[in-house]
């Protein structure tokens, strides 16, 4: 038969269970806004009954948290995509600002003004102010190309910096997870306790990690979580973590490479192994997307310079005959002995002119593409001229071509079917080696606007060359001569706009999906005040009842004692 | 589903965010007055609007070019009209002096008018607009017409091969052959029988050697014309030493037909013309074209250009077979007037008609080009209007619609704030005592 003492014990246990429950309610209420917190519950179980089958009251079970690990897994799975779209959207918008036309200072505007200035010059080839306009607008155009290119470079550098910060953040979170693994393992050692809050903190850390990189995580039998990021890099295993490191070595100068460092300082390049998450998108932006836009600009700048130069080279301006001219591009020793690239078969003409701009002699040589080297051509030129006292071609020490006439004589270029003027950069309008990055007005144009070619054979009112250049605006010149400059650039802009739009939709979809999962999680794990208050009242009443029970038992004991 | 504080808060925040986001979008559109503020607002529309902006901008430039060219051509038209007027007056005068109804005195007076007319035509041909010559083609900084020198050293050929100099051929120091006079004909004088002056025989061609005149005696001064060919234009071939003597100093009474002359020892001159040599005259009109045959072309629409020059060549000097050199013609008529030769004048009236037609044709051409430019101008202006409207359709905001949208968004925003406020406020704790 159970003693009154055991009844007292029962009452005392009930008090303590209710008190613990009350404390848990307090804990829940206090943490209702804590990020990643899962509400906790005190569960009680019945104590073992005595041999007669009378119940022994309640026993406290370990405090558990209300948590659905499948929902959490889903969130970890979808979160990296969400982070990817988010950072993609952010950077695309920055690119859009660089390409923006709305302030009237975009590339489009500069191109329009450039073509218009040529159109005007073609109408007034003798006018100094029209020449000035061409110079100014061409300069603006070249500068716009360079600016956009360097702004995109700036964006790449910014991303690089943030990448560095992200690497640190990943390492920090990895460290945190590893540390929590250790603590959880210690705390839960006997299997009697649940490290609820630490597990919440660990989940929170892993979730934060999933914003940055795509992750895969699972718990080992000891309650420690293994975290694998990217394709196959184990960031955390048990109590250990293997951190990432950004190295400058290898690849493009100044651009970080993401290395994984394992024990014994073994390194592995992980740059290409991230598929989703902010970091993967930043790498993709830095190494592909922005670079592609730069290439697009390069292509336009290159094409523009090439087409304009080709027409410009064989033209003349006002008194623009030269006594000396050096090609923009020089060849190294190897290249000097190779056939000159990009030539076409055909003739190349030089005119010798007197101080009154009258053509005295015309020298014509035949050039064979893929066969003639620069020394060949120089030799043939000098042979044809046959009088070094009048005009002479030579190769400078830097591998450039130098043409020089005797005093009192000057020279201009005639027909050039071989494109040698364009290939070597003779009498060019724009100079560029790399495209948008370094396009600029040729030096002799900057020095004197009279050197802008408008016609041929030094006739001041000749507008044939200017007209040809102005007509380039509407000629299909890009992509195997299928698109005009405008169409091509418009295509680039439209592509970008569509990309942003698509990303917006995808981002919205992805975020709404993640949000729904988080909502499900909240509805399971988050705190509801009303609920907690109800619980509180319930536990309060239960506590009061337990106390009364003890009081009653006490009275009973008194009764027994006073008997 | 369980409702928790977190889900409640998230919903409220989310709804407020969404409705105020929409409100902000409309606010930005309202403030800028544009529907399109970024490329990504409407990528396809942005491309179209860029297209239109480009077209508009280049059309604006084209319009300016067209207006410039219209001014230029109208100026040209004015000058051409002037030329036409002068030629008309000349024609009236020429008709009055043709035949035998006039007398020498009148003809002298008229000849003077011809001289003035030639000068005026020359000046008109060199008319300028600002610093630019109207009729020079693309050589717009050089005068269109230039006066040539009257002298021209004769080129010497033998069997079609050019000889360096007559001096080497004739072996006489400082001796030269020189043409004097203006003509557009290709004269050739060929020695058909060698010998000294008075002995040697020559033939003259006025068409570069295709037809030849009758044989005649070689003299120190030869009136070069082919009696069977074109009209005479008074070109002389003179032989002289450096001071201009020899050919010139031979006295008038010198008889070339006799073998030897009493006063002169012809052998002492030592000039022996070998058979077969030819003296070649390059056509040398009094006035020739100094401009370029290339005309300035102007862009009038995408990639299309039209010529906007009339050259003095086509206007006054003529091109090709039917072309008439107005200056040579007037010079010849002037001479005929001075010589009181009514028949010679009458002969040339046809030519004068041709010269005038030549001008009329150019006048018509200018008229056509100006008309084309005017139609281009009005087309560009219409298109500009139309394009601007299209652009506005694409990028500008429909204010009425936007105002309605704004009202709706505003209402939504207030509603979400309201419901949020009600949802969040009450709690069980409010009702506990």
CA pair distance A128, A453, nearest whole angstrom: 13
Residue of A nearest to B66 (CA): A123
Taking 60 as the threshold, does the pLDDT of residue A520 lie above it? yes
pLDDT in tens, A193-204: 889 999 999 999
Residue of chain A nearest B44, judged by CA positions:
A494
Instruction: Return the residue in B29, B43, B56 with the most chain A beta carbons within 10 A, the one to mutate for interface testing.
Output: B43
Using CB atoms, which residue from B44, B139, B303 is nearest to A461?
B139
Q: Quote the pLDDT of residue B8.
A: 83
Would residue A457 be called left, alpha or beta, if left means φ above 0 and alpha means ψ between -120 and 50 degrees? left
Quick one: pLDDT band at residue B25, thresholds 50, 70, 90?
Answer: confident
Residue A113 lies in a domain: no
Closest chain A residue to the Cα of B308, Cα to Cα? A123
CA distance B141 to chain A (A): 6
How many Å lie between the alpha carbon of A182 and the closest alpha carbon of chain B?
30
Residue A32 forms contact with B (CB below 8 Å) = yes
**What is the model's pLDDT at position A176?**
95
- My answer on whether B88 and B161 are in the same domain is no
If asked whether residues A170 and A271 sit together in one domain, one would say: yes
State how far residue A96 is from chain B, nearest Cα, in angstroms.
7
Structure token pair of residue A81 = 């995509």
Residues B257 and B138 in one domain: no
Residues 504-523 of A with CB under 8 A from B: 504, 515, 518-520, 522-523
Among A364, A398, A426, residue at a domain's last position: A426
A540 contacts chain B (CB < 8 A): no
* Cβ atoms of residues A56 and A47 within 8 Å: yes
d(CA B300, CA B373) in angstroms, rounded, equals: 8
Banded model confidence at residue A330, pLDDT cuts 50, 70, 90: confident
The two structure tokens encoding residue B76 = 């040209």
Please indicate if any CB of chain A lies within 8 Å of the CB of B14: yes
B292 and B144 together in one domain: yes
Check whether A303 has a pLDDT greater than 60.
Answer: yes
Mark whether B190 and B300 lie in a shared domain. Answer: no
pLDDT at B259 over 50: no
One domain for residues A201 and A259 = yes
Dihedral sign for Cα B1, B5, B7, B9, please: positive
Provide the pLDDT for residue A292: 95
Tell me the per-residue pLDDT of A547-557, one tens digit each, with 9 for 90 and over.
Answer: 999 999 999 99
Asked if B135 and B83 sit in the same domain, the reply is yes
A47-58 average pLDDT score:
83
Lowest mean pLDDT across A85-89, A131-135, A340-344, B403-407: A340-344
Name the residue facing A527 among B5, B44, B140 (closest C-beta). B5
Question: How many distinct structural domains can be found in chain B?
Answer: 2
Q: Are residues B321 and B334 in the same domain?
A: yes
Same domain, A265 and A332: no
In a domain, A207, yes or no: yes
Among A333-342, A489-498, B353-362, the minimum mean pLDDT is found in A333-342
Q: Which of A169, A222, A178 is nearest to A201 (CA)?
A: A178
pLDDT of residue A100: 84
**Pair A262, A344 in one domain:** no
pLDDT at B286 over 90: no
Q: How far apart are CA A473 and CA A110, in angstroms?
A: 13
- Does position B340 have pLDDT exceeding 70, yes or no? yes
Q: For residue B168, what are the contacts with CB-CB under 8 A and spacing of at least 6?
A: none
Q: How far apart are CA B172 and CA B170, in angstroms?
A: 6
What residues in A contact B297, CB-CB < 8 Å?
122, 463-464, 467
Show residues of chain A in contact with B138, CB under 8 Å.
125, 455, 459, 461-464
- Which of A250, A275, A300 is a domain's end point? A275
Q: Does A141 touch chain B (CB under 8 A)?
A: no
Q: Are A396 and A326 in contact (CB under 8 A)?
A: yes
Q: How confident is the model at residue B220 (pLDDT cuts 50, 70, 90)?
A: confident
pLDDT tier at B162 (50, 70, 90 boundaries)? confident
CB contact under 8 A, A494 and B46: yes
Contact A455, B138 (CB under 8 A): yes
A100: left (phi over 0), alpha (psi -120 to 50) or beta: beta
Task: Judge whether B89 lies within some domain.
Answer: yes
Residue A233 dihedral angles phi and psi, to the nearest 5°: -95, 120
Task: Determine the 3-state secondary structure of B353 from DSSP.
Answer: helix
pLDDT at residue B175, as a whole number? 65
State which of B254, B284, B314 marks the end of a domain: B284
A153 is a domain residue: no
A559 touches chain B (CB under 8 A): no
Residue B360 counted as domain residue: yes
Q: Does A496 touch chain B (CB under 8 A)?
A: yes
Question: Are both B254 and B169 inside the same structural domain?
Answer: yes
Compare all CA atoms of chain B with the CA of A462 and give the residue at the minimum distance.
B138
Q: Are residues A337 and A242 in the same domain?
A: no
For residues B279 and B298, state if they share a domain.
no
Query: B143 and chain A: CB distance < 8 Å anywhere?
Result: no
The average confidence (pLDDT) of chain B is 83
Q: How far apart are CA A60 and CA A329, in angstroms?
A: 87
Q: Which residues pair with B246 in a beta bridge?
A: B240
A498 and chain B in contact, CB less than 8 A = yes
- In this prediction, residue A1 carries a pLDDT of 44
Which residues in chain A touch residue B59, judged by CB atoms under 8 angstroms apart? Answer: none
Residue B151, H or E segment? strand B151-153
Q: Does A334 touch chain B (CB under 8 A)?
A: no
Chain B residue numbers touching A475 (CB-CB < 8 A): 303
A11-20, A437-446, B166-175, B273-282, range with the lowest pLDDT: B166-175
* Interface A-B: count of C-beta contacts within 8 A: 173
Mean pLDDT of the B234-262 span: 59
Q: Is the pLDDT of residue A456 over 70?
A: yes
Q: Note whether A16 contacts B: Cβ–Cβ < 8 A.
A: no
Q: How far is B98 from chain A (nearest CA, A)?
A: 44
Average pLDDT of the residues of chain A = 90
- A454 at the B interface (CB within 8 A)? no
The answer to whether position A234 is within a domain reads yes
> What is chain A's Cα-based Rg?
40
Residues of A in contact with B37 (CB under 8 A): 102
pLDDT at B115 over 50: yes
Are A529 and B5 in contact (CB < 8 Å)? yes
Structure tokens at B149: 């020198």
Together in a domain, B274 and B170: yes
Q: Give contacts of B53 with chain A, Cβ < 8 Å.
A: 108, 112
Closest C-alpha to A138, from A158, A160, A121: A121
Task: Show the beta-strand stretches assigned E in A297-418.
Answer: 324-326, 346-353, 359-367, 391-395, 401-405, 410-416
Contacts with A447 (C-beta within 8 Å, 6 or more apart), sequence order: none
Q: How far is A468 from chain B (nearest CA, A)?
A: 9
Using 50, 70 and 90 to split pLDDT, how confident is the model at A503? very high
d(CA B58, CA B49): 14
Inter-chain contact B139–A459, Cβ cutoff 8 Å?
yes
Whether residues B58 and A116 touch (CB distance < 8 A) is answered with: yes
**Partner B, chain A 76-115, Cβ-Cβ below 8 Å:** 92-93, 96, 99-102, 108, 111-113, 115
The set of residues, in sequence order, having a beta carbon less than 8 Å from that of A77 and lying 6+ positions away, is none
B418 belongs to a structural domain: no
Strand-strand pairing, A225-229 and A233-237: antiparallel
pTM of the model: 0.82
Task: Indicate if the pLDDT at residue B169 is higher than 60.
Answer: no
CB contact under 8 A, B38 and A100: yes
Q: Is residue B34 part of a domain?
A: no
What does the block give as tokens for A69? Answer: 């690990």
Whether the pLDDT of residue B121 is over 90: the answer is: yes
Task: Identify whether the C-beta of residue B215 lies closer than 8 Å to the C-beta of residue B192.
Answer: yes
Which of chain A's residues have a Cβ under 8 Å away from the Cβ of B5?
32-33, 526-529
Identify whether residues B279 and B292 lie together within a single domain: no
DSSP for A167-217, written as a single string: HHHHHHHHHHHHHHHHHHHHHTTTSS---HHHHHHHHHHHHHHHHHS-EEE
Helix A290-313 crosses helix A69-98 at what angle (to 10 degrees)? Answer: 20
Question: What ipTM did this prediction achieve?
Answer: 0.77
Asked if residue A449 is part of any domain, the answer here is no
- In chain A, residues with a C-beta closer than 8 Å to the C-beta of B293 are none
Average pLDDT over residues B406-422: 89
CB A114 within 8 A of CB A138: yes
Give pLDDT, residue A514: 93
Query: What are the tokens at B96?
Result: 């009055």
Residue A167 has pLDDT above 70, yes or no: yes
Host domain of residue A327: 323-426
pLDDT digits (tens, 9 = 90+) for A169-182: 999 999 999 999 99
Is B13 a member of any domain?
A: no
* Residue A322, helix vs strand vs coil: strand
DSSP string for residues in A509-533: HHHHHHHHHHHHHHHHHS--HHHHH
Q: Indicate whether B141 pLDDT > 70.
A: yes
Contacts of A473 in chain B (CB under 8 A): 58
Residues B251 and B340 in one domain: no
Radius of gyration for the alpha carbons in chain B, expressed in angstroms and rounded:
42
Assigned domain for A268 exists: yes
Inter-chain CB proximity B43 and A526 less than 8 Å: no
The structural domain count of chain A equals 3
Q: CA A467 to CA A453: how far, in whole Å?
A: 11
Q: How confident is the model at residue B270 (pLDDT cuts 50, 70, 90)?
A: low
Q: Would you say residue A444 lies in a domain?
A: no
The sign of the CA dihedral B413, B416, B422, B424 is negative
- Contact check, Cβ <8 Å, B296/A463: yes
Closest partner residue to B62 (CB to CB) among A119, A529, A533 is A119
Q: How far is CA A329 from CA A30, A332, A431, A437, in A?
A: 74, 10, 9, 17
In a domain, A491, yes or no: no
Residue B4 located in a structural domain: no
d(CA A308, CA A141): 13
**Cβ contact, residue pair A494, B299, below 8 Å:** no
User: In angstroms, rounded to a whole number, what is the distance separating the alpha carbons of residues B131 and A127?
Assistant: 10
Alpha-carbon distance of A458 to A425, in angstroms, equals 20
| Least Cα separation, residue B31 to chain A (angstroms) | 14
How does pLDDT run across B176-187, given as a tens digit for each residue? 778 888 887 888
> Measured between CA atoms, how close is B47 to chain A, in angstroms?
6
Same domain, yes or no: B182 and B261: yes
Q: Among the residues of A272-332, which ranges form H helices? A: 277-284, 290-313
A119 with B428: Cβ contact below 8 A: no
Give yes or no for B10 touching A (CB within 8 A).
yes
Range of the domain at B190: 151-284
Same domain, A421 and A358: yes
Name the domain boundary from A255, A275, A295: A275
Rounded to an integer, what distance in angstroms lies between the CA atom of residue B169 and that of residue A128?
A: 54
B299: nearest CB among A96, A100, A471: A471
Closest CA to B368 of B80, B61, B87, B64: B80
Q: How far apart are CA A320 and CA A273, in angstroms?
A: 58
* Residue A336 pLDDT greater than 90, yes or no: no
The pLDDT score that the predictor gives to residue B185 is: 81
């Amino acid at each position: 038969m159970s003693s009154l003492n055991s009844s007292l014990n029962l009452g005392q246990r009930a008090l303590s269970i209710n008190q613990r429950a009350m404390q848990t309610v307090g804990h829940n209420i206090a943490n209702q806004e804590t990020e990643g917190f899962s509400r906790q519950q005190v569960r009680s179980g019945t104590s073992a009954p005595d041999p007669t089958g009378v119940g022994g009251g309640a026993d406290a079970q370990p405090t558990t948290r209300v948590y659905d690990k499948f929902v959490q897994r889903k969130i970890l799975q979808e979160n990296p995509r969400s982070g990817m779209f988010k950072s993609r959207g952010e950077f695309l918008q920055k690119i859009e600002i660089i390409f923006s036309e709305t302030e009237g200072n975009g590339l489009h505007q500069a191109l329009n003004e450039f073509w218009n200035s040529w159109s005007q010059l073609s109408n007034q080839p003798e006018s100094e102010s029209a020449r000035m306009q061409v110079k100014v607008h061409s300069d603006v155009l070249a500068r716009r190309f360079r600016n956009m290119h360097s702004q995109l470079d700036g964006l790449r550098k910014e991303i690089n910096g943030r990448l560095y910060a992200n690497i640190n953040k990943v390492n920090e979170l990895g460290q945190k997870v590893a540390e929590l693994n250790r603590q959880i393992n210690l705390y839960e050692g006997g299997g009697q306790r649940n490290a609820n809050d630490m597990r919440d903190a660990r989940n929170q850390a892993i979730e934060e990690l999933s914003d940055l990189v795509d992750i895969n995580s699972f718990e080992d039998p000891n309650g420690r979580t293994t975290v694998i990021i990217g394709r196959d890099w184990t960031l955390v295993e048990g109590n250990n973590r293997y951190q990432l490191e950004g190295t400058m070595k290898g690849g493009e100068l100044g651009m970080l490479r993401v290395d994984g460092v394992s024990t014994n300082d073994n390194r592995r390049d992980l740059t290409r192994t991230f598929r989703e998450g902010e970091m993967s998108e930043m790498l993709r932006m830095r190494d592909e997307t922005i670079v592609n836009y730069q290439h697009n600009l390069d292509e336009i700048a290159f094409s523009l310079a090439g087409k304009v130069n080709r027409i410009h080279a064989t033209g003349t301006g006002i008194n623009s005959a030269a006594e000396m001219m050096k090609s923009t591009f020089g060849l190294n020793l190897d290249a000097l002995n190779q056939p000159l690239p990009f030539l076409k078969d055909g003739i190349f003409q030089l005119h010798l002119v007197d101080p009154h701009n009258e053509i005295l002699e015309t020298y014509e040589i035949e050039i064979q593409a893929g066969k003639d080297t620069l020394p060949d051509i120089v030799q043939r030129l000098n042979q044809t001229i046959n009088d070094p006292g009048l005009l002479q071609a030579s190769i400078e020490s830097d591998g450039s071509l130098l043409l020089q006439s005797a005093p009192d004589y000057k020279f201009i270029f005639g027909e050039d079917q071989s494109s040698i003027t364009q290939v070597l950069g003779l009498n060019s309008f724009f100079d560029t080696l790399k495209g948008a990055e370094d396009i600029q007005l040729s030096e002799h144009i900057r020095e004197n606007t009279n050197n802008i070619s408008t016609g041929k054979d030094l006739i001041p009112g000749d507008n044939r060359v200017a007209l040809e250049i102005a007509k380039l605006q509407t000629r299909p010149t890009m992509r195997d001569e299928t698109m005009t400059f405008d169409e091509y650039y418009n295509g680039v802009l439209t592509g970008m706009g569509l990309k942003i739009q698509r990303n917006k939709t995808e981002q919205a979809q992805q975020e709404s999906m993640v949000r729904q999962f988080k909502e499900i999680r909240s509805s399971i794990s988050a705190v509801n005040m009303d609920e907690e208050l109800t619980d509180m009242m319930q536990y309060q009443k239960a506590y009061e009842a337990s106390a009364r029970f003890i009081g009653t038992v006490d009275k009973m004991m008194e009764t027994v004692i006073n008997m | 589903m369980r409702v928790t504080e977190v889900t409640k808060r998230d919903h409220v925040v989310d709804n407020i965010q969404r409705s105020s986001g929409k409100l902000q979008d409309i606010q930005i559109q309202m403030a800028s007055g544009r529907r399109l503020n970024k490329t990504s607002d409407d990528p396809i529309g942005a491309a179209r609007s860029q297209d239109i902006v480009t077209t508009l901008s280049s059309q604006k430039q084209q319009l300016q070019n067209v207006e410039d060219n219209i001014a230029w051509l109208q100026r040209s038209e004015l000058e051409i009209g002037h030329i036409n007027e002068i030629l008309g007056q000349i024609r009236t005068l020429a008709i009055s002096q043709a035949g035998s109804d006039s007398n020498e005195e009148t003809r002298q007076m008229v000849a003077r008018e011809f001289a003035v007319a030639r000068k005026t035509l020359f000046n008109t041909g060199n008319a300028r607009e600002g610093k630019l010559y109207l009729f020079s083609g693309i050589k717009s900084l050089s005068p269109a017409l230039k006066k040539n020198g009257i002298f021209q050293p004769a080129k010497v050929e033998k069997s079609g091969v050019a000889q360096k100099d007559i001096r080497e051929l004739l072996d006489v120091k400082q001796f030269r052959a020189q043409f004097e006079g203006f003509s557009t004909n290709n004269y050739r004088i060929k020695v058909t029988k060698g010998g000294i002056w008075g002995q040697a025989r020559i033939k003259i061609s006025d068409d570069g050697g295709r037809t030849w005149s009758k044989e005649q005696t070689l003299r120190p001064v030869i009136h070069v014309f082919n009696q069977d060919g074109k009209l005479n234009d008074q070109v002389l071939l003179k032989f002289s030493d450096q001071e201009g003597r020899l050919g010139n100093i031979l006295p008038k009474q010198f008889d070339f037909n006799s073998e030897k002359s009493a006063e002169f020892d012809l052998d002492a001159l030592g000039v022996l013309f070998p058979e077969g040599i030819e003296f070649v005259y390059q056509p040398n009109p009094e006035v020739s074209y100094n401009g370029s045959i290339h005309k300035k072309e102007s862009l009038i629409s995408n990639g299309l250009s039209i010529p906007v020059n009339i050259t003095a060549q086509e206007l006054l000097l003529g091109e090709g077979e039917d072309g008439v050199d107005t200056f040579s013609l007037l010079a010849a008529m002037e001479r005929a007037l001075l010589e009181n030769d009514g028949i010679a004048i009458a002969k040339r009236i046809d030519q004068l008609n041709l010269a005038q037609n030549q001008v009329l044709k150019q006048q018509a051409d200018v008229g056509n080009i100006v008309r084309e430019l005017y139609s281009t101008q009005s087309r560009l202006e219409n298109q500009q209007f139309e394009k601007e409207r299209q652009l506005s359709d694409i990028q500008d905001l429909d204010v009425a619609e936007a105002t309605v949208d704004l009202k709706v968004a505003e209402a939504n925003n207030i509603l979400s704030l309201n419901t949020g406020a009600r949802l969040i406020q009450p709690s069980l704790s409010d009702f506990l005592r």
